[in-house]
Amino acid sequence: MTEDGAHKMRQMENSEAVETRHSGSREFYTVAQLADLLQLNEMTIYRMVKAGQLPCHLIGRIMRFRHDDIEEFLKQRRVPARGSKD
């Protein structure tokens, strides 16, 4: 196997390693993945983290966002429909 082929295999294995019990979703997201998922700009994600609004895990200087933390974040910001007693 070439060095490039081995590198691609490691990338695939690493990608599969973060797949979890969340019906095919990832356990952790990168800033880019989370921004894409929430349809936000990456800078918005960084600003929300800096303001303490969005929880993240720092690994060195790299940010990762746990699926369950994002679900809780979204749940806390849910606005009920008008007229609903939710």
Sequence spans of domains, the chain: 27-78
pLDDT of 57-81, one tens digit each? 999 999 999 999 999 999 999 999 9
- Say if residue 51's pLDDT is above 70: yes
Which residue would you say has higher pLDDT here, 14 or 52?
52
What is the model's pLDDT at position 20? 42
- Say if residue 24's pLDDT is above 80: no
Task: List the Cα angle 43/17/36 in 5-degree steps.
Answer: 25
How many whole angstroms from its chain centre is CA 79?
22
What is the model's pLDDT at position 83? 80
| pTM score | 0.66
Q: Under CATH, what is the fold of the domain 27-78?
A: Arc Repressor Mutant, subunit A (1.10.10)
